[in-house]
Chains A and B, each alone.
Chain A
Amino acid sequence: MRSNRLGWTLLTPSLVVLGIVGFLPFLFVVWVGFHDWNIFAATRGMIWTGANNYRRLVFDQEFLDALWRTLAYTVTVVVIELSLGFLLAQTLTRQFPGRAFFRTIYVLPLVVAPIAVGATWRLMVIPGFGPIPYFLERWFGIEYRIGTYASHAWATAVLMDVWHWTPFVTLTLLAGLTAIPKEPLEQAMVDGANRWQVFRHLTIPMMMPVILTVVFIRMMDALRVVDEVYMLTNGGPGTATTFIGLHIFRVVFPKTDYGYGSAMSLLVLYFTIVLCWLLFVALSNVGKQKA
């Protein structure tokens, strides 16, 4: 009884802060989502429209396109980062010259703020100023134009995210790999299993909780990417890199369509939760089958 009271007492400050900066704004967004509210409209203030904003969303081609674009981007970056991260984590479990140096250097992108990452990459890839287009053109004859070609902008956005976040995936997986017991692996080798069989039937199932965590974190991050891409391409060329976070930002801030933007945010939140849940169920079942 005493420990319960003490627990709640200790938790109270955090809960109050969380309530003020998290829960109340969330409720306000829910409330605004049922209104038409644009501060530059002739009609002042909020006008109750019920579920009209949500109805509009279903037929809003720009919104749906941005959503699909974001999904494709998310799947691409998470798959690449997971594959690369696993490969690097496996490599880092072994001893090789310069390992400590590499581990130190490798995590540096993690300490850079996303907005700075976007700005730095932009400086590197702007034609006429950046070194990447210069050398690609000079050495390989490739005309690299992120402001002109959608595929170039897309690839650069993916590359930038992979550069920024693969170290996080690697570090987390490395921690997982270091923590799994060695005995079952050695026993399987003694019983005649080859390296691939050990990896597929033992390492992967034992790593599944870590993989799940990494995939969830990266997936949620990638679904709401804004600042890096905002700095790099501002969503262009055309709408090639207008991901859903950037689309919502434009609707809410420059366009000041608060009601519709709030409805979009909530639908995307719901979508993210459902996606994570589906993924959790799917990966958990895979893990159980492997075990």
Chain B
Amino acid sequence: MLRHRLIVTLSILVFAAMMLAACPAPAPVAPAAPAPAEGEASWWRTAAESAGCVGVTIRGVSESTPPSNFAKDVLGPAFERDSGIKVELETTSWDQMYDKAIKDMEAGTGIYDFVYIEQDIIYAYLANNYLLNMTKFLADNPNLAAPDFDFGKFTTFIDYFKDAEGNVYGVPMEAFIKIYLYRTDLFGDPEAQAAFKEKYGYDLAPATNYQQYRDNAEFFTQWGKDRGLELWGTTVQAASGHPSSFYEVFETILPSGGVYNWGINMENWKASVENGGTMNSDRAKAAFQFWLDLLPFAPPEATSSTWDEVAASFAAGRAAQGWVYGENAAWIATDPERSKVVGNVGVALPPLADESVLQDAEEGRGYIGYYDGGAFGIPATSKNQACAVLWNQYIGQESVQADWAVAASRVVMNSTFDDPKVQEVDAKTNGYFTLLKEQGHLFAGAPPFPFHATIREVIAPYVYRAIAGELTAAEALDQAAAAVDAELPKLGYGQ
């Protein structure tokens, strides 16, 4: 009897647990969907009807980031209301997103009607003819060209999604820079300022060079320890088995040390110094070593941190400074439900190895950090291309940009910077949007490599091993450069 009761009780508990687990989590509070004017709403419906799209469901896949989640939670429902086309946007992890999109387009299954194209993969997609030429499609179908959509309204970031003839293959939906964030409350603390000056002999300030960054990191780590705080000197995106650490090193740290395009010579497709590359140059080794030496001053989760965890660590108040993807700047600085450092966030250009790096960037020879972003592109294999083109134009309207920028700190149109809502957040983030607008040209996206993912996978294990302490920075880069020199000819480059 007792046993029977026990089994019944357990069954009820398990069932209740399953029911609770199945309940959807409350949706994040998102800004209200933009209310289009009466005429506009009817245009979307009319266009959808003429293209036979009313009642159609279009499916997309994207990385789970603030900009994509806004598209899914706010713009998707609004588009369905205005056009009668349902949008199912699957937001998943970065690697799963690529895996699914590439498999779909390579196999030609036509599962997805739009996919996220990160700036760094566009060259590979174009080389494989994966994407629909939107410029041509709209020219061929003028009745589907929305009145509030114009490629010319976008910032120059849209150039990344064009082919050599200027045809556009993706509508930018996020663009931001990887910035230097710091805690204004800590850097402005008079006690900390005095202690820092006494120890290092100069004023405590946001870092502009490597040495200053390291001193700041060391100082605040000790500061936290002395006061029993969960505080460290810096974030480090050093997940020791995840490509995010490769990206931090090759697209943020090496450029700030004066090593561009992953250190690969794009004239002969070689990486090692002896073959004309710079991947294992002294500058690259110094920059990488500087980054590795920061690990003792980073929170313990650093070696498990990808881009998301770095933002989370900073928002949790566990780091005094760090390189953080700009898409997180707005919520870290303004959302008290997710961030403990609201009102205490400063934004600045990332620290550089020396002044020559800034000079390179200003004169167009290099760049100081990473300009990240992506677009929604339409696979050539999509079975609902016309409907997806309408969706892409919907998210590319000027009228939806400001709310999107406020929610996800991304800007793809120049006019967005002037919107009062954006300017309000700009003040709260200590000038993030101003920095993006005025200094964005100093940053650059990934180099135009069609072999991006393949070579990343060749290099990344050496980064992981250096993080794990199995290799020094110099050994890791020497071996990585040799491996790249061996791999590229197999791919048909630099033979």
Contact = CB atoms under 8 A, between A and B. Distances in A.
Instruction: Answer yes or no: do A and B interact.
Output: yes
Contacts of B450: 40, 42
Nearest to B244: A234
Nearest to A231: B93
Contacts of A236: 239-242, 303, 464, 467-468
B3 interface: yes
Interface string A214-244: 0000000000000000000111111111100
A235 B454 CA distance: 18
Contact of A38 (B242, B305, B318, B491): B491
B128 interface: yes
Contacts of B238: 147
A233 B306 CA distance: 12
Contacts of A100: 3, 6-7
B128 A147 contact: no
B453 A237 contact: no
B465 interface: yes
Contacts of A51: none
B241 A126 contact: no
Contacts of B301: 126-129, 147
B457 interface: yes
Interface in B116-159: 124, 127-128
A109 to B, nearest CB: 13
B454 A40 contact: yes
A39 B241 contact: no
Nearest to A126: B304
Interface string B461-476: 1001101111000000
B468 A256 contact: no
A128 B457 contact: no
B6 A233 contact: no
A101 B304 contact: no
A237 B451 contact: no
Interface residues of B, number: 47
Contacts of B95: 254
Given A100-B7, A127-B304, A254-B457, A147 B240 contact: yes
A39 B318 contact: no
Contact of A148 (B124, B303, B490): B303
Interface on chain B toward A: helix, strand, loop, or mixed SS?
Answer: helix
Interface string A76-117: 000000000000000000000000110010000000000000
A188 interface: no
A101 B10 contact: yes
A238 B3 contact: no
Most chain B C-beta atoms within 10 Å of own C-beta, residue among A100, A128, A129, A254:
A128
Contact of A147 (B6, B304, B457): B304
A62 B461 contact: yes
Contacts of A256: 102, 453-454
B336 interface: no
A36 B241 contact: no
A146 interface: yes
A146 B305 CA distance: 11
Contacts of A239: 461, 464-465
Nearest to B93: A231
A133 interface: yes
Contacts of B309: 126
B313 interface: yes
Interface string B161-198: 00000000000000000000000000000000000000
Interface string B330-341: 000000000000
Interface string A175-207: 000000000000000000000000000000000
Contacts of B470: 238
Contacts of A251: 457
A180 to B, nearest CB: 25
A237 B468 contact: yes
Given A126-B304, A236-B242, A237-B240, A41 B7 contact: no
Contacts of B200: none
A150 interface: yes
Contacts of B469: 238
A1 B99 CA distance: 50
Contacts of B364: none
A44 to B, nearest CB: 8
B10 A104 contact: yes
Contact of B300 (A62, A127, A240, A250): A127
Given A128-B299, A147-B301, A236-B242, A38 B454 contact: yes
A290 interface: no
Nearest to A253: B99
B394 to A, nearest CB: 31
A237 B491 contact: no
A226 to B, nearest CB: 13
Contact of B124 (A40, A104, A250): A40
Given A41-B451, A43-B492, A238 B239 contact: no
A146 B453 contact: no
A270 B49 CA distance: 56
B493 interface: yes
B490 A36 contact: yes
B302 interface: yes
Nearest to A100: B3
Contacts of A253: 99
Contacts of B464: 235-239
Given A41-B451, A41-B491, A128-B318, A255 B458 contact: yes
A108 to B, nearest CB: 8
Contacts of B491: 38, 40-43
Contacts of B102: 39, 256
A69 interface: no
Contacts of B128: 39-40
B303 A41 contact: no
Given A128-B300, A236-B242, 19 more contacts: A39-B106, A40-B127, A41-B454, A41-B492, A42-B450, A42-B492, A100-B3, A126-B309, A127-B300, A127-B301, A128-B301, A128-B313, A148-B468, A234-B241, A234-B242, A237-B303, A250-B457, A254-B98, A257-B454
14 contacts: A38-B490, A39-B128, A41-B491, A128-B313, A129-B301, A143-B300, A145-B300, A147-B238, A147-B240, A150-B468, A234-B239, A235-B464, A238-B467, A254-B99
Interface of B: 3, 6-7, 10, 95, 98-99, 102, 106, 124, 127-128, 238-243, 299-305, 309, 313, 318, 450-454, 456-458, 461, 464-465, 467-470, 490-493
Q: Which 3 A-B pairs give the minimum distances between C-beta atoms?
A: A236-B241, A42-B492, A147-B303
